[in-house]
Structure 1
């Protein structure tokens, strides 16, 4: 099912959309706008999933025991040294 809708575009948006149609990339202005809305829908859904995953990660990290700055620095230095050995980079 399709719904007819009236929208307003800026001159720049209209020119860009028309250039996509004129170049043959899209068959109509409606196709351009539908694709734009689909991309926005996908982006919004992706951001929602990423935000939920980050919230879950933060909640898990808050439940874990905290480590000192000294311990964290030691772990980072160990990780860097291990990576350097793997890719054979001298400090």
Structure 2
């Protein structure tokens, strides 16, 4: 089912959308806008999934074993040294 809706576009948006229709990439302005909305919907859904995954990761980390800032600094330093040795960068 299609729903008619009135929208406002900037001159640049209108010109871009019309150029897509004129160049044959889309059959109508409606098609351009529908595709744009579909991409925005997909992006929003992906961001929601990513945000939830990050929340879960943070919660797992908060429930896990904590280490001190000193221990973390030591681990980071060790990692940097290993990486430098792996690529043979002088320290």
TM-score range, shorter chain: 0.7 to 0.9
- Gap runs ≥5 in structure 2: none
Q: What is the CA–CA distance in structure 1 between the aligned matches of 2:24 and 2:90, rounded to whole Å?
A: 53
Cα RMSD (Å): 1.4
Q: What aligned pairs does 1:25-44 form with structure 2 within 5 A after superposition?
A: 25-44=25-44
Q: Where does residue 87 of structure 1 map in the other structure?
A: 87
Task: Say how many residue pairs are matched.
Answer: 91
Aligned residue in 2 for 1:4:
4
1:40 Cα shift?
0.3
Gaps of 5+ in 1: none
* TM-score, reference length from structure 1: 0.87
